[in-house]
Amino acid sequence: MITWLDNPLVQSALLPFIMALVLARVLAAFLPRWQGLAIPLGFYPAAVLMAGLQLVPFTSTRKILLLGVIAVILSGIFSWRNMLGLSHRFLLAVSIVVATLWVLWPLLMRTDGLALLSVLGSGLIYMLWLTLLIDAQRLDMPVKLLNACVFSAGVAVVATIGGSALLGQLSGALAAATGGVLLVVFFSRKPSDAQMFMFPVMLMAGLLSLAAVVYASLPWRSLLCLMAIPLVSLLPLSFNKLWLKLLIQLLLMLMAVAGAVYIAWDFSSNLALDNADNGYY
C-alpha cells in the first residue's frame, strides 16, 4: 500500500474531494442526470481505506456503509422510475425507519422501558427530520449540496470530539466528496440534477452522528444544534447573487455547527474530569 494513502488527512479529505470533483465534471459532460453519483463514488474508496472490506465483525459502522450502498441503489431506481410525491416519500420514510432500527438494534436489545422508547423515538424523529426535510425542499442544487456538506462536516467534528475517530473520518470524507460536487455544480452554467443522491448522503451522515451518540460519548444536545442546519435553507433570503445567498447560509449553518461543537467539547471535558476524579486516566 502506498504510504501517503495511509494518511488520515488524505483518506478523510483529499482523496474523496479530488475523486468527487473529477467524477462530477466527467459525469456532467457525458451523463448529467447521474452527476450526483460522484458523491458515493468519491466517498467509498476512502471509506474502504478507513474501514476495510471485511464484514466481520459486522459493526454499526459497516452497517451504515452497507446501508449507504443500498440507499444509492434505491435513489437510482427512484430517479429511473420518476417516483415523486407521496409514494416517493413513503418509501423513503420506510427505508429510514428500517435503517435506523438496524443500526440501533444492539442497543435496543439490552434496553427496556422508558429508556427504550426514548432512544428509539428520538433516533427515528432525528433521522426522519434530516432526510425528509432535505428531500421535501425544492431548492437550487448548490443550496442542497451546501446543506449536506456542512452537516457532514459538523458531524465529523463532533463525532471526533465524542471519542470516535473512525466515525469522524467517515463523516469528513462524506463532507469532502459532497464539497467536490458542490464546486463543480456552482461553477457550471448547466443545471444539475444531483437531487436523487441527497438521500444517501443525509442518511449516512445522520446514522454516523446517531452512532456517535449511542456507541460513543457524543451528547444528544449536539444533534439538536445540527438539526437546525436544514432549517437555514427555509429562511426567506432573497439575493440576486447565488454566491451571496450561499455565503449567508454558510455563516448561519456554521453557527449551528459551532453550537454543536461547544456542547460536545463541554460534555467531553466534564466527562474527562469525572473520570479523573474517579481514578481513571
Burial (Cβ within 10 Å: 0-12, 13-18, ≥19) of residue 67: buried
Going from N- to C-terminal start, the domains of the chain cover 3-272
Q: In the prediction, which pLDDT does 281 show?
A: 30
Among 160, 179, 180, 162, CA closest to 170: 160
Query: Rounded to two decimals, what is the model's pTM?
Result: 0.92
As a whole number of angstroms, the distance between CA 122 and CA 84 comes to 27
pLDDT at 280: 35
At residue 2, the pLDDT reads 60
Whole-number pLDDT of residue 192: 60
Supply the pLDDT for residue 54. Answer: 80
Rounded to an integer, what distance in angstroms lies between the CA atom of residue 129 and that of residue 108? 21
Which regions of the chain are under pLDDT 50? 1, 276-281
C-alpha cell at 193: 440534477
Note if the bond before 57 is cis, omega within 30 degrees: yes
